[in-house]
Amino acid sequence: MAKFKTGFETEREMNEMRNIEVEIDFTPNALASIMYRQGNTHILCCVTKEARLPGWFPRDATKGWVHAEYSLLPGSTDSRFRRERRGAKGRTQEIERLIARSLRGAIDLEALGPLALTVDCDVLNADGGTRCASITAANIALRLAVRRLIASGDCLPIDLRPTKDDLDNGWSAPKLSDTEARNHENRVIPHDLSAISVGLIGEDVYLDLDYILDSNADVDMNVVGTSDGRFVEVQGTGEESTFSYDELQALLDMARDGLSQLSEMQIAVLEDIV
Protein backbone atom coordinates (compact mmCIF):
# COMPACT_ATOMS: atom_id res chain seq x y z
CA MET A 1 0.00 0.00 0.00
CA ALA A 2 1.76 3.14 -1.22
CA LYS A 3 1.47 6.54 0.43
CA PHE A 4 2.40 10.03 -0.65
CA LYS A 5 2.46 13.18 1.49
CA THR A 6 3.22 16.79 0.78
CA GLY A 7 3.35 19.69 3.23
CA PHE A 8 3.40 19.65 7.01
CA GLU A 9 2.56 23.23 8.04
CA THR A 10 -0.55 23.83 10.12
CA GLU A 11 -0.71 27.59 9.41
CA ARG A 12 -1.07 28.57 5.78
CA GLU A 13 -0.23 31.58 3.70
CA MET A 14 -2.95 32.89 1.38
CA ASN A 15 -1.30 31.15 -1.59
CA GLU A 16 -0.51 27.89 0.22
CA MET A 17 -2.30 24.60 -0.36
CA ARG A 18 -3.57 22.46 2.44
CA ASN A 19 -1.52 19.37 3.30
CA ILE A 20 -2.14 16.53 0.84
CA GLU A 21 -1.86 12.82 1.51
CA VAL A 22 -2.64 10.07 -0.99
CA GLU A 23 -2.90 6.41 -0.08
CA ILE A 24 -3.00 3.97 -3.00
CA ASP A 25 -5.12 0.78 -2.98
CA PHE A 26 -6.95 1.74 0.19
CA THR A 27 -9.59 -0.90 -0.57
CA PRO A 28 -8.56 -4.12 -2.35
CA ASN A 29 -11.66 -4.99 -4.40
CA ALA A 30 -11.79 -2.01 -6.76
CA LEU A 31 -9.77 -1.85 -9.97
CA ALA A 32 -8.13 1.22 -8.42
CA SER A 33 -8.81 2.98 -5.14
CA ILE A 34 -7.23 5.84 -3.26
CA MET A 35 -7.74 7.62 0.04
CA TYR A 36 -7.21 11.29 -0.72
CA ARG A 37 -6.74 13.77 2.11
CA GLN A 38 -6.54 17.49 1.42
CA GLY A 39 -6.39 19.08 4.84
CA ASN A 40 -9.39 17.74 6.74
CA THR A 41 -11.34 16.93 3.59
CA HIS A 42 -11.01 13.17 3.09
CA ILE A 43 -12.23 11.39 -0.06
CA LEU A 44 -12.33 7.66 -0.76
CA CYS A 45 -12.26 7.24 -4.53
CA CYS A 46 -12.77 3.87 -6.23
CA VAL A 47 -12.85 2.95 -9.92
CA THR A 48 -14.65 -0.16 -11.12
CA LYS A 49 -15.01 -1.66 -14.58
CA GLU A 50 -18.59 -2.36 -15.58
CA ALA A 51 -19.59 -5.59 -17.30
CA ARG A 52 -20.90 -3.75 -20.36
CA LEU A 53 -21.34 -0.34 -21.91
CA PRO A 54 -24.50 1.66 -21.13
CA GLY A 55 -27.58 0.38 -22.95
CA TRP A 56 -27.81 3.45 -25.18
CA PHE A 57 -24.41 2.72 -26.76
CA PRO A 58 -24.46 1.06 -30.22
CA ARG A 59 -23.52 -2.63 -30.22
CA ASP A 60 -20.41 -2.00 -32.32
CA ALA A 61 -19.20 0.97 -30.26
CA THR A 62 -15.49 1.67 -30.43
CA LYS A 63 -15.35 4.23 -27.64
CA GLY A 64 -15.95 3.97 -23.90
CA TRP A 65 -17.70 5.82 -21.13
CA VAL A 66 -16.87 7.23 -17.70
CA HIS A 67 -19.58 7.72 -15.09
CA ALA A 68 -19.16 9.23 -11.64
CA GLU A 69 -21.08 9.11 -8.37
CA TYR A 70 -20.53 11.29 -5.31
CA SER A 71 -21.83 11.10 -1.77
CA LEU A 72 -21.36 12.66 1.61
CA LEU A 73 -21.25 9.92 4.24
CA PRO A 74 -23.40 10.42 7.36
CA GLY A 75 -20.47 11.23 9.66
CA SER A 76 -18.66 13.52 7.23
CA THR A 77 -20.23 16.76 8.50
CA ASP A 78 -20.70 18.28 11.96
CA SER A 79 -24.33 17.13 12.01
CA ARG A 80 -25.30 13.77 10.52
CA PHE A 81 -25.84 13.88 6.76
CA ARG A 82 -28.84 11.67 5.96
CA ARG A 83 -28.23 8.96 3.37
CA GLU A 84 -29.88 9.68 0.03
CA ARG A 85 -31.57 6.29 -0.28
CA ARG A 86 -33.99 7.35 -3.01
CA GLY A 87 -31.38 8.75 -5.34
CA ALA A 88 -29.11 11.75 -5.42
CA LYS A 89 -30.66 15.08 -4.44
CA GLY A 90 -29.99 18.46 -6.07
CA ARG A 91 -26.52 19.35 -4.74
CA THR A 92 -25.25 15.78 -4.90
CA GLN A 93 -26.55 15.34 -8.44
CA GLU A 94 -24.94 18.59 -9.55
CA ILE A 95 -21.55 17.56 -8.12
CA GLU A 96 -21.80 14.08 -9.69
CA ARG A 97 -22.39 15.65 -13.08
CA LEU A 98 -19.50 18.06 -12.58
CA ILE A 99 -17.08 15.22 -11.70
CA ALA A 100 -18.25 13.04 -14.59
CA ARG A 101 -18.12 15.71 -17.29
CA SER A 102 -14.75 16.92 -16.00
CA LEU A 103 -13.32 13.40 -16.29
CA ARG A 104 -14.83 12.92 -19.74
CA GLY A 105 -13.37 16.25 -20.79
CA ALA A 106 -9.87 15.05 -19.95
CA ILE A 107 -10.02 11.45 -21.22
CA ASP A 108 -10.00 10.31 -24.84
CA LEU A 109 -12.95 7.91 -24.93
CA GLU A 110 -11.98 6.53 -28.36
CA ALA A 111 -8.49 5.70 -27.09
CA LEU A 112 -10.04 4.11 -23.98
CA GLY A 113 -11.99 1.73 -26.20
CA PRO A 114 -15.35 0.06 -25.51
CA LEU A 115 -15.07 0.04 -21.73
CA ALA A 116 -17.37 1.53 -19.11
CA LEU A 117 -15.80 2.78 -15.90
CA THR A 118 -17.56 4.07 -12.80
CA VAL A 119 -15.73 6.42 -10.44
CA ASP A 120 -17.18 6.60 -6.92
CA CYS A 121 -16.21 9.53 -4.71
CA ASP A 122 -17.30 9.15 -1.09
CA VAL A 123 -16.63 12.01 1.30
CA LEU A 124 -15.54 10.60 4.65
CA ASN A 125 -14.84 13.99 6.18
CA ALA A 126 -15.84 17.39 4.79
CA ASP A 127 -13.92 20.58 5.50
CA GLY A 128 -14.52 22.56 2.34
CA GLY A 129 -13.64 21.89 -1.29
CA THR A 130 -15.17 18.42 -1.47
CA ARG A 131 -16.09 18.65 -5.16
CA CYS A 132 -12.62 19.90 -6.10
CA ALA A 133 -10.85 17.28 -3.99
CA SER A 134 -13.12 14.61 -5.51
CA ILE A 135 -12.15 15.61 -9.05
CA THR A 136 -8.42 15.54 -8.28
CA ALA A 137 -8.76 12.22 -6.46
CA ALA A 138 -10.90 10.81 -9.28
CA ASN A 139 -8.25 11.60 -11.88
CA ILE A 140 -5.51 9.89 -9.87
CA ALA A 141 -7.67 6.78 -9.44
CA LEU A 142 -8.80 6.85 -13.08
CA ARG A 143 -5.24 7.05 -14.43
CA LEU A 144 -4.22 4.14 -12.23
CA ALA A 145 -7.25 2.14 -13.41
CA VAL A 146 -6.38 2.83 -17.07
CA ARG A 147 -2.77 1.82 -16.42
CA ARG A 148 -3.98 -1.50 -15.02
CA LEU A 149 -6.44 -2.09 -17.85
CA ILE A 150 -3.62 -1.59 -20.33
CA ALA A 151 -1.42 -4.05 -18.42
CA SER A 152 -4.21 -6.65 -18.41
CA GLY A 153 -4.85 -6.26 -22.16
CA ASP A 154 -8.37 -4.85 -21.67
CA CYS A 155 -7.44 -1.39 -22.97
CA LEU A 156 -5.48 -1.52 -26.21
CA PRO A 157 -4.62 0.81 -29.09
CA ILE A 158 -7.32 0.62 -31.74
CA ASP A 159 -5.12 -1.23 -34.26
CA LEU A 160 -4.48 -4.02 -31.74
CA ARG A 161 -8.09 -4.60 -30.66
CA PRO A 162 -9.65 -7.94 -31.62
CA THR A 163 -12.37 -8.40 -34.23
CA LYS A 164 -15.32 -10.70 -33.59
CA ASP A 165 -13.58 -13.40 -35.62
CA ASP A 166 -10.45 -12.99 -33.50
CA LEU A 167 -12.48 -13.53 -30.34
CA ASP A 168 -14.23 -16.56 -31.85
CA ASN A 169 -10.85 -18.07 -32.69
CA GLY A 170 -9.28 -17.91 -29.24
CA TRP A 171 -7.60 -14.50 -29.50
CA SER A 172 -5.32 -13.51 -26.66
CA ALA A 173 -4.29 -9.95 -25.86
CA PRO A 174 -0.83 -8.83 -26.99
CA LYS A 175 1.67 -7.74 -24.37
CA LEU A 176 2.72 -4.13 -24.78
CA SER A 177 6.25 -3.03 -23.97
CA ASP A 178 6.68 -0.55 -21.13
CA THR A 179 7.10 2.26 -23.65
CA GLU A 180 4.06 1.20 -25.67
CA ALA A 181 1.97 0.92 -22.50
CA ARG A 182 2.99 4.36 -21.27
CA ASN A 183 2.39 5.91 -24.70
CA HIS A 184 -1.10 4.41 -24.84
CA GLU A 185 -1.86 5.55 -21.29
CA ASN A 186 -0.95 9.07 -22.34
CA ARG A 187 -3.21 8.81 -25.37
CA VAL A 188 -6.13 7.77 -23.16
CA ILE A 189 -5.41 10.50 -20.59
CA PRO A 190 -3.27 13.07 -22.42
CA HIS A 191 -3.19 15.54 -19.53
CA ASP A 192 -3.93 15.11 -15.83
CA LEU A 193 -7.05 16.75 -14.42
CA SER A 194 -7.19 18.75 -11.18
CA ALA A 195 -9.60 21.09 -9.44
CA ILE A 196 -9.07 23.79 -6.83
CA SER A 197 -11.14 26.35 -4.96
CA VAL A 198 -10.14 29.99 -4.59
CA GLY A 199 -11.85 32.85 -2.84
CA LEU A 200 -11.88 36.57 -2.26
CA ILE A 201 -12.10 37.83 1.33
CA GLY A 202 -12.02 41.60 1.37
CA GLU A 203 -9.21 42.45 -1.05
CA ASP A 204 -7.26 39.24 -0.43
CA VAL A 205 -7.28 36.17 -2.66
CA TYR A 206 -7.02 32.77 -0.93
CA LEU A 207 -6.10 29.38 -2.36
CA ASP A 208 -7.72 26.04 -1.47
CA LEU A 209 -10.61 27.12 0.74
CA ASP A 210 -11.40 25.12 3.84
CA TYR A 211 -14.80 25.46 5.50
CA ILE A 212 -13.90 28.56 7.54
CA LEU A 213 -12.44 30.39 4.54
CA ASP A 214 -15.32 29.33 2.31
CA SER A 215 -17.89 30.52 4.87
CA ASN A 216 -16.26 33.96 5.02
CA ALA A 217 -15.53 34.42 1.33
CA ASP A 218 -17.13 37.35 -0.49
CA VAL A 219 -16.48 35.49 -3.74
CA ASP A 220 -15.71 31.80 -4.14
CA MET A 221 -14.72 29.93 -7.25
CA ASN A 222 -14.12 26.32 -8.25
CA VAL A 223 -11.72 25.87 -11.15
CA VAL A 224 -11.18 22.61 -13.03
CA GLY A 225 -8.25 22.38 -15.41
CA THR A 226 -5.78 20.12 -17.17
CA SER A 227 -2.04 19.96 -16.73
CA ASP A 228 -1.42 21.68 -20.07
CA GLY A 229 -3.00 24.85 -18.70
CA ARG A 230 -6.48 24.55 -20.21
CA PHE A 231 -9.73 24.95 -18.29
CA VAL A 232 -12.52 22.38 -18.17
CA GLU A 233 -14.95 24.34 -16.01
CA VAL A 234 -15.01 27.52 -13.93
CA GLN A 235 -17.73 28.09 -11.32
CA GLY A 236 -17.59 31.52 -9.69
CA THR A 237 -20.13 33.19 -7.41
CA GLY A 238 -20.32 36.49 -5.57
CA GLU A 239 -21.77 35.70 -2.14
CA GLU A 240 -23.93 38.81 -1.62
CA SER A 241 -21.16 40.66 -3.42
CA THR A 242 -19.83 41.53 -6.85
CA PHE A 243 -16.31 41.31 -8.21
CA SER A 244 -14.33 43.17 -10.81
CA TYR A 245 -12.51 41.93 -13.90
CA ASP A 246 -9.17 42.46 -12.13
CA GLU A 247 -10.37 40.45 -9.13
CA LEU A 248 -11.56 37.68 -11.46
CA GLN A 249 -8.13 37.65 -13.10
CA ALA A 250 -6.45 37.46 -9.68
CA LEU A 251 -8.67 34.52 -8.70
CA LEU A 252 -7.87 32.67 -11.93
CA ASP A 253 -4.15 33.35 -11.57
CA MET A 254 -4.23 31.92 -8.04
CA ALA A 255 -6.22 28.91 -9.26
CA ARG A 256 -3.69 28.24 -12.04
CA ASP A 257 -0.90 28.15 -9.47
CA GLY A 258 -2.89 25.64 -7.41
CA LEU A 259 -3.69 23.48 -10.43
CA SER A 260 -0.01 23.42 -11.36
CA GLN A 261 0.92 22.21 -7.88
CA LEU A 262 -1.77 19.51 -8.03
CA SER A 263 -0.51 18.32 -11.42
CA GLU A 264 3.03 17.99 -10.08
CA MET A 265 1.69 16.10 -7.07
CA GLN A 266 -0.16 13.61 -9.29
CA ILE A 267 2.96 12.83 -11.29
CA ALA A 268 4.87 12.14 -8.08
CA VAL A 269 2.07 10.01 -6.62
CA LEU A 270 1.83 7.59 -9.56
CA GLU A 271 5.42 7.64 -10.79
CA ASP A 272 6.27 4.07 -9.75
CA ILE A 273 2.80 2.63 -9.12
CA VAL A 274 1.47 -0.23 -11.24
Domains annotated for the chain, with CATH where assigned, are 3-270 (3.30.230.70)
Residue 8 has pLDDT above 60, yes or no: no
What is residue 149's predicted lDDT score, i.e. its pLDDT? 98
What is residue 4's predicted lDDT score, i.e. its pLDDT? 46
Residue 87 has pLDDT above 90, yes or no: no
DSSP lists the bridge partners of residue 194 as: 225
Contact assessment for residue 67 and residue 100, using Cβ atoms and an 8 Å cutoff? yes
What is residue 10's predicted lDDT score, i.e. its pLDDT? 47
Contact assessment for residue 236 and residue 221, using Cβ atoms and an 8 Å cutoff? yes
Distance between CA atoms of residues 97 and 243, nearest Å: 27
What is the DSSP code (8-state) at residue 74? G
Kindly compute the dihedral angle of the four CA atoms of residues 86, 34, 100, 142, in this order, to the nearest 10 degrees: -140
What is residue 2's predicted lDDT score, i.e. its pLDDT? 56
Distance between CA atoms of residues 230 and 149, nearest Å: 27
Neighbours of 202 (CB within 10 A): 8
Q: Which residues contact 73 (CB under 8 A, 6 or more apart)?
A: 81, 122, 123, 124
3 — pLDDT class (breaks 50, 70, 90): low
Residue 67 has pLDDT above 50, yes or no: yes
5 — pLDDT class (breaks 50, 70, 90): low
The pLDDT of 25-33, averaged and rounded, is: 96
Phi, psi of 145 (to 5 degrees): -65, -45
pLDDT digits (tens, 9 = 90+) for 184-230: 999 999 999 999 999 999 999 999 999 999 999 999 999 999 999 99
pLDDT digits (tens, 9 = 90+) for 102-156: 999 999 999 999 999 999 999 999 999 999 999 999 999 999 999 999 999 999 9
pLDDT digits (tens, 9 = 90+) for 242-273: 999 999 999 999 999 999 999 999 999 999 89
Contact assessment for residue 201 and residue 218, using Cβ atoms and an 8 Å cutoff? yes
What's the pTM?
0.93
DSSP lists the bridge partners of residue 84 as: none
Instruction: Tell me what the pLDDT averaged over the chain comes to.
Output: 93
Q: Which residues contact 192 (CB under 8 A, 6 or more apart)?
A: 106, 139, 143, 226, 227, 263, 266, 267
Residue 53 has pLDDT above 80, yes or no: yes
Contact assessment for residue 220 and residue 239, using Cβ atoms and an 8 Å cutoff? yes
Q: In this prediction, what percent of the chain has a pLDDT beyond 70? A: 96
Residue 89 has pLDDT above 70, yes or no: yes
Which of the two residues, 86 and 145, has the higher pLDDT score? 145
